[in-house]
């Protein structure tokens, strides 16, 4: 029998827990984002570029942060969230918020639309938890939060105050 004592998590466990939680909204390198210059891989977007948004039509990117980190990844099979949503198989960090506007929003959250982390949509078949993966994440930061089009999904941008950490 072990004594009941408070334990200190080792550095690797603490780092894994921290990297899984942050950033809240970031895209995986290679994700295609709609811009006024056409569909571009997110890592090719830079500050000053104009991105097409659901909520304002167009927004100017204030800052881009690219980081290689270990995060829990979620795989979404093409077409599993609606007709061509996503338009190809997609991988997102588990914390990336997705705007859902179909029967799932009503059935799961009792609303016509809901902004939910990708990990809350895991069904084990079409939307799968891929486990911890080392990936390059890209945060698109604007003056205010926006809903972007990424691989045919509607996803939340990084929060301005969260990006200043």
Q: What is the pTM of this model?
A: 0.81
Q: Supply the pLDDT for residue 23.
A: 66
18 pLDDT more than 50: no
What is the pLDDT, as a whole number, of residue 83? 79
42's CB contacts (< 8 A; 6+ apart) are 27, 28, 29, 30, 31, 32, 33, 138, 140, 150
Give the tens place of pLDDT for each residue, 21-55. Answer: 456 899 999 999 999 999 999 999 999 999 999 99
76-113 in b/e form (b: 16+ CB < 10 A) is beeebbeeebbbeebbbbbbbbbbbbeebbeeeeeeee
| Spatial separation of the C-alpha atoms in residues 133 and 72, rounded to whole Å | 6
pLDDT for res 161: 64
More confident: 129 or 159: 129
């Amino acid at each position: 029998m072990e004594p009941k004592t408070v334990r200190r998590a080792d550095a690797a466990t603490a780092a894994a827990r921290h990297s899984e939680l942050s950033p809240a909204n970031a895209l995986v390198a290679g994700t295609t984002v709609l811009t006024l210059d056409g569909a571009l891989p997110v890592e090719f977007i830079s500050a000053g570029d104009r991105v097409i948004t659901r909520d304002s039509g167009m927004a100017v990117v204030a800052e881009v942060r690219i980081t290689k980190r270990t995060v829990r990844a979620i795989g979404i099979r093409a077409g599993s969230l609606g007709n061509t949503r996503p338009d190809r198989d997609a991988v997102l960090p588990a914390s990336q918020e997705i705007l859902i506007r179909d029967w799932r929003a009503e059935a799961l959250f009792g609303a016509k639309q809901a902004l939910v982390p990708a990990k809350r949509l895991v069904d084990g078949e079409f939307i799968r938890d891929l486990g911890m993966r080392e990936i390059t994440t890209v945060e698109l930061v604007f003056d205010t939060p926006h809903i972007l089009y990424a691989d045919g999904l509607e996803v939340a941008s990084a929060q301005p105050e969260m990006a200043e950490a």
